[in-house]
């Protein structure tokens, strides 16, 4: 406000004019209240504090964690950007600690796609840091028109941003606020990542924020970050993929009438494929974004470097891809071990002939044994009286093309105590029986009960519950936590009781029968009133 006597600008809470001494609390003295220009006041204070070292020019932008001014470095004769924390926020020690952490975090990162920090200072009640001034524009300004960007340009922006984030992740820094406003494009369109104000360095963030506190921008927030769980570099990967979806389509991935609605959609809804909204997007880019947007961090790329390679079309293994079963692997091994198709075709008649020969030999052997027993009982002729003339040689019948496993009927010797000479296969012959057994199994199939039956695997369904406003979820009387709750496992084949409570609102209850492993999603609107 202004003093009515001397028009001196005064703070809103002042009781006396600093210039003329008028009593502002006197009802007879009228004052003129004017809007308070915080930015102008901050500019004036910064100019006074930095006098002789920097010449403050103009405001470049302002956000939740401070304002950024363009200034001239009078010593090194270069333009710099100075980010300063507003005085009103300087009274909060936690905010000040986070502000300094942003500067120190960014200062230890040395990468061409991360804006460098020159110095960090606190003096005369102001907290600020000086960084390189990037001449150009923010990615946010390019997306304001709501139009998709050229595909090669978008791929390059995502690749360079992924490289910068990968550098930060390798040093234990998670950005946690990847969005268009925090990506600058220099004069040569070089991507520069800015604003590590809510970044996570090891376990330090847990000391500066309340447990379960959600920080970040809802439109670009990963599901695990939105539900207050621990995050790592894969949360940045999800946010960058959301940004990529916007670059290629010109639209936000999820939108809504409230932050809670947007968070719920990130947690529970499957994102649309980019290629369906813009068919000219390459399949490799569409597949890379789809994987980076998966709800579970373990299903995304293991690193930002892998994400960048996938965007460029380089092959990256997907550990979540379906793997062939043991039976399929064994079948593939057998196929690799078998000879070429032509050779197998030529061996089939021989194997059939061998099987027929085995059956004939077995029949002849059985008949010979019967005649031998009758001959011994009726005549009791000694071996010396038996004619020793050899029977006519039978033509050899090959059993297998492999020389190590080949045999023939001519190789089988007759039993010495047999009356009727016949080619009987000795019981200790190791070559014929396995082939006959394999043929029998192939014709008759495996015996029932021979294969071990696998133990039944217990199945679970994934439960996702959200409410407006948020409340505490109970499953079968057990407190799970505040909504939204994502991917909570409930056993299949039983009924579960859901309950959402919040002080001052009616309790919502529902009984659900879990019939299969399909995802279960519930969203409740809590009504004001006493709990029933």
- Contact between 222 and 234 under an 8 Å Cβ cutoff? The reply is yes
Q: How far apart are CA 168 and CA 199, in angstroms?
A: 10
Query: CB of 304 within 8 A of CB of 163?
Result: yes
Catalytic residue status for 177: yes
Average pLDDT over residues 195-223: 55
Q: What is the mean pLDDT of residues 148-152?
A: 94
pLDDT digits (tens, 9 = 90+) for 12-60: 655 555 445 555 655 434 444 444 567 788 889 999 999 999 999 999 8
Residue 427: predicted pLDDT: 45
Secondary element (H or E) of residue 65 = none
* pLDDT over threshold 70, residue 90: yes
- Which residue out of 26, 37, 92, 177 is catalytically annotated? 177
Among 177-191, 256-270, 286-300, 382-396, the range with the most confident prediction by mean pLDDT is: 286-300
Domain ranges across the chain: 37-133, 134-202+218-316, 460-525
pLDDT reading at 438 higher than 80? no
Q: Which fold has domain 37-133?
A: Phosphorylase Kinase; domain 1 (3.30.200)
pLDDT tens-digit series, residues 225-278: 888 888 899 999 999 999 999 999 999 999 988 888 899 999 999 999 999 999
Element (DSSP H or E) covering residue 67: strand 66-73
φ, ψ (nearest 5 deg) of residue 185: -120, 115
How far is Cα 229 from Cα 209, in angstroms, rounded to an integer?
Answer: 13
- Torsion angle (degrees, nearest 10) of CA 426, 431, 436, 442: 160
Nearest to 178 by CA among 190, 188, 191, 189: 191
User: pTM (2 decimals)?
Assistant: 0.54
CA distance 285 to 288: 5
Query: Span 507-529, mean pLDDT?
Result: 89
pLDDT for residue 198 is more than 80: no
Question: At the fourth CATH level, which superfamily is domain 460-525?
Answer: Carboxypeptidase-like, regulatory domain (2.60.40.1120)
134-202+218-316 to CATH, choices 1.10.510.10, 1.10.645.10, 1.20.1090.10, 3.65.10.10: 1.10.510.10
In order, the DSSP letters of 337-360 are HSPPHHHHHHHHHHHHHHHHHHHH
With contact defined as beta carbons under 8 Å apart, do 153 and 161 qualify?
Answer: no
């Amino acid at each position: 406000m202004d003093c009515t006597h001397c028009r001196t600008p005064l703070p809103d809470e002042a009781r006396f004019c600093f210039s003329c001494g008028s009593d502002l609390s006197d009802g007879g003295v009228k004052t003129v209240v004017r809007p308070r220009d915080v930015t102008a006041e901050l500019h004036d204070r910064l100019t006074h504090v930095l006098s002789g070292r920097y010449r403050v020019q103009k405001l470049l932008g302002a956000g939740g964690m401070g304002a950024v001014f363009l200034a001239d470095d009078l010593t090194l004769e270069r333009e710099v950007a100075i980010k300063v924390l507003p005085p009103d926020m300087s009274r909060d020690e936690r905010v000040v600690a986070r502000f300094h952490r942003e500067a120190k975090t960014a200062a230890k990162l040395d990468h061409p796609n991360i804006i460098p920090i020159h110095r960090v200072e606190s003096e005369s009640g102001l907290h600020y840091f000086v960084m390189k001034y990037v001449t150009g524009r923010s990615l946010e300004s390019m997306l304001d028109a709501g139009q998709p960007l050229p595909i090669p340009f978008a791929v390059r922006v995502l690749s360079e941003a992924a490289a910068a984030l990968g550098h930060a992740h390798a040093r234990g820094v998670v950005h946690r606020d990847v969005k268009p406003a925090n990506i600058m494009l220099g004069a040569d369109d070089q991507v520069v990542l800015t604003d590590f104000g809510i970044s996570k360095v090891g376990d330090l963030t847990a000391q500066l924020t309340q447990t379960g506190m959600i920080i970040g921008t809802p439109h670009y927030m990963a599901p695990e970050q939105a539900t207050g769980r621990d995050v790592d570099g894969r949360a940045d990967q999800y946010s960058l993929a959301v940004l990529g979806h916007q670059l290629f389509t010109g639209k936000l991935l999820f939108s809504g009438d409230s932050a809670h609605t947007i968070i719920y959609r990130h947690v529970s809804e499957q994102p649309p494929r980019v290629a369906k909204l813009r068919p000219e997007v390459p399949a490799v880019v569409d597949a890379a974004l789809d994987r980076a947007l998966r709800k579970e961090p373990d299903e995304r790329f293991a690193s930002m470097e892998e994400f960048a390679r996938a965007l460029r079309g380089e092959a990256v293994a997907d550990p979540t891809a379906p793997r062939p079963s043991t039976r399929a692997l064994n079948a593939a091994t057998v196929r690799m071990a078998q000879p070429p198709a032509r050779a197998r075709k030529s061996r089939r008649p021989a194997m059939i002939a061998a099987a027929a020969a085995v059956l004939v030999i077995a029949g002849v052997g059985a008949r010979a044994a019967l005649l031998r027993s009758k001959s011994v009982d009726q005549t009791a002729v000694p071996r010396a009286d038996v004619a020793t003339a050899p029977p006519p040689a039978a033509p050899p019948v090959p059993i297998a093309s492999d020389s190590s496993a080949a045999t023939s009927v001519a190789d089988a010797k007759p039993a010495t105590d047999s009356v009727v000479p016949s080619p009987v296969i000795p019981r200790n012959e190791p070559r014929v029986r396995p082939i006959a057994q394999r043929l029998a199994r192939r014709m008759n199939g495996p015996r029932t009960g021979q294969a071990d039956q696998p133990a039944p695997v217990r199945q679970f369904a994934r439960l996702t519950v959200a409410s407006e406003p948020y409340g505490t979820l109970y499953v079968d009387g057990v407190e799970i936590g505040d909504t939204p709750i994502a991917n909570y496992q409930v056993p299949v084949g039983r009924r579960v009781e859901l309950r959402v409570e919040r002080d001052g609102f009616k309790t919502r209850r529902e009984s659900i029968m879990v019939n299969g492993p399909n995802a279960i999603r519930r969203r409740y609107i809590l009504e004001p009133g006493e709990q029933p």
